[in-house]
Amino acid sequence: MTFVERENPENTELCLGSLDEEILCGKRDEDNSWEDEHGKHVPRKGGIGRELCYTERHIFLDDAIPGITDDLPGKKWLTHSGEGEAIEGKVADCVQK
C-alpha cells in the first residue's frame, strides 16, 4: 500500500488503488439518491480521497492521462522528484510526445 525510500524517509508514496471504494470515495447514501434522465445518482458520505489525492507534489507523470491526471495541483515531475526541474501547469502543455 505504501512505499518509503530509505534516502527520503520523510516522503511516503501511497497506492490509491489499494484502498477500498468506501474508504476512498465514501459510503453510498442510498437514502438521498435521486433519478433523472441520466440515471440514478447516489451521493457519497465521508471518504478520504480528496485529502489523499491533493498533495504538494506528483511524480512519475510521464504517463499522465490527458484531461485527468495532467492538471493536478502542486509541483510535478516526469519521473523521480530528484531528477530534473519541476513542471509547472499542465503536464500535457509542458511535454511534447
pTM: predicted TM-score of the whole model, two decimal places: 0.48
pLDDT at 30: 96
The pLDDT tens digits for 16-49 are: 678 888 988 899 999 999 999 999 999 999 988 8
pLDDT at 69: 66
The single-letter code of the amino acid at 40 is: K
In the structure grid, which three cell numbers stand for residue 61, read together?
507523470
Residue 58: which of 34, 86, 39, 32 has the closest Cα? 86
Q: Is the pLDDT of residue 90 over 70?
A: no
pLDDT at 41: 95
pLDDT at 81: 67
Q: Is the pLDDT of residue 97 over 50?
A: no
* DSSP per-residue codes, the chain: -EEEETTEEEEEEE-GGGS-HHHHH-EE-GGG-EEETTEEE--EE---HHHHH--SEE--GGG--TTTTTT-SSEE-SS-TTSSPPB-S-HHHH---
Q: In percent, how much of the chain has pLDDT > 70?
A: 69
